[in-house]
Structure 1
């Protein structure tokens, strides 16, 4: 790692954008700087808000806007795809913690997180624009799917398994099907029908409908 950083520093010096002039971090031990990371994320957001397309942003431009050297960025992200994914995650609501031991209760927390992310995306023209651009860049969308969407799906599946084990959900159905039944309505409301309401009680209504079933009650 040290050799790679040194090589990047030498490249920057040849480019005229060396960390000696622009990188405020001390050299001893190369500590990670929360302030530098914040400046980099804010620089990307500022450039996007100014109308710069994702494809047009270079590491050089981002570093210059953030007031850091390129090596400062490369020490944290291997490339633009990883950086842009962190920018999107920074703009979205933080994923709430789950117990990791509960079943249906954890599932509810994660469904509610989907609802709040949907609200956040609706209220942010920038987020809508970023997601549209991400989907037109397969490598960037693959990075987002693999590092953000996939772990969330794994966590949901684990919560469903815990709910089944606890007797909160049926044990004669495929776990992935059960997961899809819970996630599907939220995806429809947040992604496929952006005009659809996302009321505060939506998650509870979805859970109640699934647990109660959709067949009419026979008396």
Structure 2
């Protein structure tokens, strides 16, 4: 059998990075377009998203396991990016995390789309669970790790419950961004919250002999 008559090798799909990013961006923008047109999350199907983005359903399923995972990426695209932690101290890292939450609150208030999506997402258990598992919980684990590192480095009292303390840091910002939409979110609020809490949580210096 000649080389020309040899069976062709199975085609291996090549996912070039620029092309992949362009396709994924088109899909995410397609979802955003439908949401901006007022289509509820519950009525968005993979078929409709594929038509809007100009791709096949298989293209979407190759990148996301389903609607829930896709919606989480759409929301993350609309949110501020995760902060780069300065790593200079526990205090500075905590401020960076809270600042991201403050900016997200400002964006949600200024974006009717984001506001509506968050409201709908909470009534869709699968979507909320996917968002919580891939966005909320990793951020919370990171904050707890920062607090534990602060204890190990002597920046925080060793007897403090870091799981509870993590909620205490985030609580005031969540209250202002979620439960009090009329409350101010001024610059410097993140520093104010962190410093107010840390003032009573620093290690107590032992009296000199």
With the length of structure 2 as denominator, give the TM-score of the two structures: 0.85
Q: How does 1:43-82 map to 2 (within 5 A)?
A: 43-82=30-69
2:152 equivalent to 1:195 = no
Equivalent residue runs for 1:1-219 within 5 Å: 28-31=12-15, 33-99=20-86, 102-213=89-200
TM-score, normalising length: structure 1: 0.81
Aligned pair count?
188
3-state secondary structure, aligned to 2:195: helix
Secondary structure of the structure 2 residue equivalent to 1:78: coil
Q: 2:7 aligns to what?
A: none
Give the C-alpha shift of residue 160 in structure 1: 0.8
Q: Which has the larger radius of gyration?
A: 2
Which structure 1 segments of 5+ residues have no match? 1-26, 215-219
2:91 touches 2:194 (CA, 8 Å); kept in 1? Answer: no
Give, in whole Å, the separation in 1 of the partners of 2:85 and 2:95: 10
Cα pair distance change 1:101/1:151, threshold 3 Å: farther
Deviation, structure 1 residue 171: 1.2
SS class of match (1:89): helix
Q: Which runs of 4+ in 1 moved over 6 A?
A: none
Contact 2:27/2:50 (8 A) holds in 1: yes
**Aligned-residue offset at 1:103:** 2.2
RMSD of the alignment, in Å? 1.7
Instruction: Supply the distance in 2 between the matched residues of 1:191 and 1:149 (Cα, whole angstroms).
Output: 14
SS of the counterpart of 1:75? helix
Task: Summarize the Cα distance change of 1:101–1:201 in structure 2 as closer, same or farther, 3 Å threshold.
Answer: closer
Residues 129, 98 of structure 1: CA spacing in aligned structure 2 closer, same or farther, 3 A cutoff?
same
The aligned counterpart of 2:206 is none
